[in-house]
Amino acid sequence: EVQLVESGGGLVQAGGSLRLSCAASGFTFDDYAIGWFRQAPGKEREGVSCISSSDGTTYYADSVKGRFTISSDNAKKNTVYLQMNSLKPEDTAVYYCAAEGHHYCDTAQAMGVLDDYWGQGTQVTVSS
């Protein structure tokens, strides 16, 4: 059974940083993509960033490009991080990680179908 567990959320002032972690277990496929999504109250879920296991290719939404960095930990297999810098109040949301087997994530469209498995979410609150 595939499980995704997020951690690292919290409260931070605008301009600050947080690092989210997504620990994935139970994968039985060699190639997959893991992504980060967020949903603020009253808003639709937004794809933030994703990374492909096959070659490390990444994708970022325009709203976070240049501020967020997604990475994977080779030592801790199947752990993906989202380093969030220069945080803004509009980054406040519940952040979820999601995974999809045999998937290559390098575009918004590819991110849109990354939805096989989901974590429980972690709250990120940015105060002004």
pLDDT score recorded for residue 26: 87
Rounded Cα–Cα distance for residues 55 and 53 (Å) = 6
Regions of the chain short of the pLDDT cut 50: none
E-state strands within 43-89: 46-52, 58-60, 68-73, 79-84
- Look at residue 109 and give its three-state secondary structure: helix
Distances (CA, A) of 37 to 21, 30, 45, 74, 128: 13, 23, 7, 22, 22
Residue 113: how many other CB atoms lie within 10 Å: 12
pLDDT score recorded for residue 120: 97
pLDDT score recorded for residue 27: 78
